[in-house]
Chains A and B, each alone.
Chain A
């Protein structure tokens, strides 16, 4: 098998990020809350940032609701989002990841994620970090009590670091970690395995002709 990770970064790249973090406490936040379905027609060239949490963040008149975390300084410029369990559950809409990306977020930390949202983050240069419940609660408390607190998400060392150097190790699939660290285009990588895919198809067509068309 060729070791074709490539050297030139063509996709979104992530190594380490130190930035202001925004806390968000609710559990089971579904992607309908992250971006309401009526915005799913928007073309990708447009700015999805304002659509992030749209109906929770803006009133009927379009005015920012002062109580919502992303409408308050310094969270408005946060690039790390610290959430709660089962974050991004529900609909597969990738627009949820577009909205986080365009708002400036490059990492979301939570005890657990909706699987499809998790993958959509990886596909869009956002690092989803799973940390234990208690650690996430601690981090949310930290950035709530001291607004403007910067956290570091280190994809090289696989840890989240607090300002006082308290570090929390996390894991992310080695495959996607490598893609993100190097900025590798996933489809380009897969297409470099065209011979392997064709060999699989030949064998599969012989062994399971009923599965084909």
Chain B
């Protein structure tokens, strides 16, 4: 490809980060590496090798997966093993002089919440983290992807990563999103349309009028679940909304550096005529609030739909998958999703724990009571502080929901926040896999407003019918 051929956003960032080529792979420079309390294998391997962290200042850490959400003390971890995970993280970042936001720091939170919040994530950067939802950060126009612990070690040691070439995919969401249809509903509809493996091997760029009209926080929700369609990364071209969001953030460039950055960022959006390997388009106006019925994020339908019948599946593999999912979920074909009794509600996770998410949930819960146990887990200490400044914590508490401290919590459950076997949970997280929220737990993925509506109804409900 000639130097001035039209390029996509992704290709521009990729090209800018190539240190060298070897066979079909490129060695890419990593601008930001975010680590968490699950990164212990990488540090263990690094120590064994006796190699230092090459660029500690480009590395940021926060404990999130294993932290208790009932308090800010590791001592409140439910088991000594879980407590040790948080303490090991502290030891590792201190030993390697990596800047980290610990439990006593209001900047602590879920890695994918604090990256954008602190301005660690910026347009045009290459960012990696040992967590699959690193695709979140692409909402700011970064190329961001999840890696394994061996790759973590490689980045710590070399500040680079080997990458195979990627295909590109543009997902265009045109039209106007109806009232009551959230960013979460948009991404669930996309995944239902293309499948859990629909974007494997691709970097997805989200485009179209409906995406442009989204706030940065909404775009973060969309990009977050790119991995649930199998995409290597999800991206949205930076625009004035992005720059307004980033201006003044603690780690964002200031003064002359900001001006230089801005000039470069404005050159990043995909050129007219750039070619994508695959194009998909959706009409936002046709979307409705979504809920998952099965054990893959692709098992999503509008709230007004009924549980599908395996007999109607398009092929044998799908028929089997549907039947198996229904067995695990304890659902019969034809059952109405709306009104399906739910035992518990979780509002949180890197998908939906930002201030706009909490506002959406609070708008439904205000002046109402939750009929079932519900926990609200903000994405960071700063989100928690902001929510309290707006009185949202009071709304949640008065509705009978628990107001927790920041962490991954019931999205992955390894801090001990889990459901009980057989329980049905309406959850704003990203994965409804078997056992994800505890052995035998049945997860229904929904938006924050829909989760709040489920708490009020004690069942899957259409938040639009409750009104604000």
Contacts and interface: CB of A to CB of B under 8 A. Distances in A.
Given A40-B414, A92-B132, A33 B434 contact: yes
B27 A116 contact: no
Contacts of B257: 209-210
Nearest to A37: B414
B324 A211 contact: no
Contacts of B125: 211
Contact of A175 (B25, B38, B51, B132): B25
Given A33-B434, A190-B162, A119 B41 contact: no
Interface in A84-139: 84-86, 89-94, 97, 112-116, 119-120, 123-124
Interface stretch (B208-216, B300-308, B313-321, B458-466): B313-321
B253 A210 contact: yes
A208 interface: yes
Contacts of B311: none
Contacts of A210: 122, 253, 257-258, 260-261, 264
A92 B131 CA distance: 5
B200 A113 contact: yes
Contacts of A1: 20
Contacts of B57: 213
A196 to B, nearest CB: 5
B20 A94 contact: no
Q: Interface on chain B toward A: helix, strand, loop, or mixed SS?
A: mixed
Nearest to B159: A197
Contacts, number: 180
A176 B25 contact: yes
Interface stretch (A21-29, A144-152, A160-168): A21-29
Contacts of A68: none
Contacts of A94: 41, 148-150
Contacts of B253: 210
A141 interface: no
A25 B57 CA distance: 46
A55 B232 CA distance: 28
Nearest to A27: B317
B44 interface: yes
A123 B130 CA distance: 14
A186 B45 CA distance: 13
B413 interface: yes
- Interface centre among A36, A55, A113, by most chain B C-beta atoms within 10 angstroms, is A36
Contacts of A178: 23
B11 to A, nearest CB: 17
B196 interface: yes
Interface in A1-40: 1, 25-28, 30, 32-33, 36-38, 40
B38 to A, nearest CB: 6
A178 B24 CA distance: 11
B200 A90 contact: no
B132 A174 contact: no
Given A123-B148, A124-B150, A86 B197 contact: yes
A37 B296 contact: no
A119 B161 CA distance: 12
Contacts of B61: none
B402 interface: no
A41 B148 contact: no
B153 interface: yes
Interface string B130-164: 11100000000000011111110110011110101
A97 B148 contact: yes
A187 B413 contact: no
Nearest to A45: B44
Contacts of B439: 36, 55
B148 A112 contact: no
Interface in B157-198: 157-160, 162, 164, 195-197
B435 interface: yes
A175 B196 contact: no
- Interface centre among B153, B232, B414, by most chain A C-beta atoms within 10 angstroms, is B414
A85 B197 contact: yes
A55 B434 CA distance: 10
- The 3 nearest A-B residue pairs measured at CB: A86-B197, A175-B25, A123-B150
20 contacts: A25-B320, A32-B433, A32-B435, A41-B414, A86-B195, A86-B197, A86-B230, A92-B146, A93-B148, A114-B230, A123-B151, A176-B25, A191-B51, A197-B158, A200-B29, A208-B260, A210-B257, A210-B258, A211-B125, A213-B57
